A and B are shown apart, each in its own frame.
Chain A
């Protein structure tokens, strides 16, 4: 296990852009981050981990990849990225991370879940899929609610609490919230099919991928709440 680096290097020589393990960090925006910047974990079992890391660094957070329970110590927040929710769920269970992470989230660790991350945070699925969930967010979610990949789409939409106009987002085989299960779940954005951004106490979840568009406002708003 390599050291879970706390942030991307401040500078990266061009010839070293290609790094082992598919981590093509060449496009990361080099940033110098102070030691007291929020430390955000990105669950790194599968999915678009790197895209989140780049955005998090850009909005002033240090980043650590989380693949073992011990990587959860000392985090100010955690991102559950986009990916395949079945795969990430199975890996959470196989590598004994599911219960530890669920307990930390129930104990107040702030989390941002995008797409697969929203599914994994949810308490219930409305489909009969046998897949492990963290089960901490009081919503029932439907996977692939918009259809198959040919139905995936780019759009922009208003999100409550995000200033500066509609947020530019991509819905890729995206889920939707079909039922809010707890009174303290806030719906921050919705489309015809249902809520697509929800918040419950320390948990924020989006159906779409704010990390692939270059519109960093959602991450920036979330990071600004960490450690406070």
Chain B
């Protein structure tokens, strides 16, 4: 650890603080984080302008197709991805699987995603994320879930969406739900906030903080079903700070072009002429799944407690 040279007045450096965990997420804002399963895909993502890559064993569309238990990525693969790119590397672990998180932290991964896309390892508990120096991002379908994750130490929130479907409707629902609940909270008086905390099953201190500031105290990204530049821009206009793209890139006809187009649409989310330009000639988007065709047991968004 480096200390300020010759400066007795300065305080000792502190790692793993809430400020550097949440601050790291601030630096990702306005950017696109892409799911990758190999170092080669990570290089394509970096070239396209991704702000970070997410290492996982299989992209969600393949997890849906193949079934079975989905787990954290092989450490060799994570090392390979870390060596292949200069941008931050994130990795997914199973909900509640704190040992997978310990392993991923020891590999030098920059952010851990405790993700419903993998098969949950604990049906009642999420990871106690305060025990880690590495920051965590967690999924949420609404404000209560977001605040419960923050209470457990998450430093970044993403909507869950319905990963691996190429269908953005669930992500839309979650973003609108979170935004709508924040607007509701900010009109409540102090007594109503206690009832709201009960309704949302969320820590009352966090409920009060959201009501007072009119925002989540951390960065909010969107994930789940983003397949096109217009999907990404819509999520940004709905209030997302940035976008996770999973199967949408490497399950499409032209990953390089699509990755780049989604990055450019995210930067220029409020400029339809740019979104139109980057949407031209991208080839086939991933086929997509209508959510009515999914059984309840196949819905990832309902995982997490």
A18 and B50: CB pair below 8 A? Answer: no
Closest 3 CB pairs of A and B: A17-B214, A26-B214, A149-B110
- Complex interface residues of chain A between 168 and 183 (CB less than 8 A to chain B): 170-173
Residue from B10, B240, B268 whose CB has the most chain A CB atoms within 10 Å: B10
Say yes or no: is B4 at the interface (Cβ < 8 Å to chain A).
Answer: yes
Say yes or no: is A6 at the interface (Cβ < 8 Å to chain B).
Answer: no
Say yes or no: is B28 at the interface (Cβ < 8 Å to chain A).
Answer: yes
B26 and A51: CB pair below 8 A? Answer: yes
Say yes or no: is A34 at the interface (Cβ < 8 Å to chain B).
Answer: no
Say yes or no: is B131 at the interface (Cβ < 8 Å to chain A).
Answer: no
A36 to chain B, nearest CB (A): 29
B28 and A84: CB pair below 8 A? Answer: yes
Return chain B residues, CB-CB under 8 Å to A83: 27-31, 51
Which residue of chain A lies nearest to B20 when distances are taken between CB atoms in the complex? A152
B20 and A154: CB pair below 8 A? Answer: yes
Return chain A residues, CB-CB under 8 Å to B9: 156, 158, 165-166
A150 and B87: CB pair below 8 A? Answer: no
- Complex interface residues of chain B between 46 and 67 (CB less than 8 A to chain A): 46, 49-52
A84 to B17 CA separation, bound complex (whole angstroms)? 21
A171 to B23 CA separation, bound complex (whole angstroms)? 9
Return chain B residues, CB-CB under 8 Å to A156: 4, 9-11
A128 to B134 CA separation, bound complex (whole angstroms)? 27
A residues lining the B interface (CB < 8 Å): 1-2, 14-15, 17-22, 24, 26-27, 44-51, 67, 82-84, 86-87, 90-91, 94-95, 115-116, 127, 129, 143-144, 146, 148-158, 165-166, 170-173, 189-193, 209, 212-213
Return chain B residues, CB-CB under 8 Å to A19: 239
Contacts known (A22-B240, A151-B15, A153-B13); A91 close to B7, Cβ less than 8 A: no
Contacts known (A18-B182, A154-B20); A173 close to B29, Cβ less than 8 A: no
Contacts known (A17-B213, A170-B23); A150 close to B15, Cβ less than 8 A: yes
Return chain A residues, CB-CB under 8 Å to B2: 146, 191-193
Say which size band chain B's interface belongs to: 35 or more
A154 and B51: CB pair below 8 A? Answer: no
Say yes or no: is B283 at the interface (Cβ < 8 Å to chain A).
Answer: no
B200 to chain A, nearest CB (A): 17
B213 and A150: CB pair below 8 A? Answer: no
For this complex, 7 residue pairs linking A to B, each with C-beta atoms less than 8 Å apart, are: A26-B186, A26-B213, A48-B29, A82-B27, A94-B264, A154-B14, A170-B20
A158 and B20: CB pair below 8 A? Answer: no
Return chain A residues, CB-CB under 8 Å to B105: 150
Return chain A residues, CB-CB under 8 Å to B264: 91, 94
Return chain A residues, CB-CB under 8 Å to B19: 154, 170, 212-213
Return chain A residues, CB-CB under 8 Å to B15: 150-153
A49 to B27 CA separation, bound complex (whole angstroms)? 9
B223 to chain A, nearest CB (A): 14
Say yes or no: is B294 at the interface (Cβ < 8 Å to chain A).
Answer: no
B215 to chain A, nearest CB (A): 4
Which residue of chain A lies nearest to B52 when distances are taken between CB atoms in the complex? A84
A27 and B27: CB pair below 8 A? Answer: no
Main SS at interface, chain B? loop
List 19 additional A-B contacts (Cβ < 8 Å) besides A21-B236, A82-B26, A155-B14: A1-B270, A14-B186, A14-B187, A15-B186, A18-B183, A20-B238, A47-B27, A48-B29, A51-B26, A83-B27, A83-B51, A84-B51, A148-B108, A153-B20, A157-B7, A158-B9, A170-B19, A172-B24, A190-B5
B30 and A22: CB pair below 8 A? Answer: yes
A129 and B30: CB pair below 8 A? Answer: no
Contacts known (A87-B263, A172-B23); A27 close to B271, Cβ less than 8 A: no
A157 and B31: CB pair below 8 A? Answer: no
A168 to chain B, nearest CB (A): 9
Return chain A residues, CB-CB under 8 Å to B5: 190-192
Contacts known (A154-B20, A157-B10); A86 close to B187, Cβ less than 8 A: no
A178 to chain B, nearest CB (A): 13
Say yes or no: is B288 at the interface (Cβ < 8 Å to chain A).
Answer: no
Which residue of chain B lies nearest to A176 when distances are taken between CB atoms in the complex? B2
A14 to B28 CA separation, bound complex (whole angstroms)? 26
Return chain B residues, CB-CB under 8 Å to A172: 20, 23-24, 27
Return chain B residues, CB-CB under 8 Å to A115: 27
- A interface footprint on B225-253 (CB within 8 Å = 1, 0 otherwise): 00000000000111111100000000000
Residue from B31, B111, B269 whose CB has the most chain A CB atoms within 10 Å: B31
Say yes or no: is B146 at the interface (Cβ < 8 Å to chain A).
Answer: no
Which residue of chain B lies nearest to A12 when distances are taken between CB atoms in the complex? B214
Say yes or no: is B75 at the interface (Cβ < 8 Å to chain A).
Answer: no
Tell me which of A21, A27, A87 contacts B31 (CB under 8 A).
A87
B90 to chain A, nearest CB (A): 10
Return chain A residues, CB-CB under 8 Å to B108: 148, 150
A150 to B51 CA separation, bound complex (whole angstroms)? 18
Return chain B residues, CB-CB under 8 Å to A1: 268, 270-271
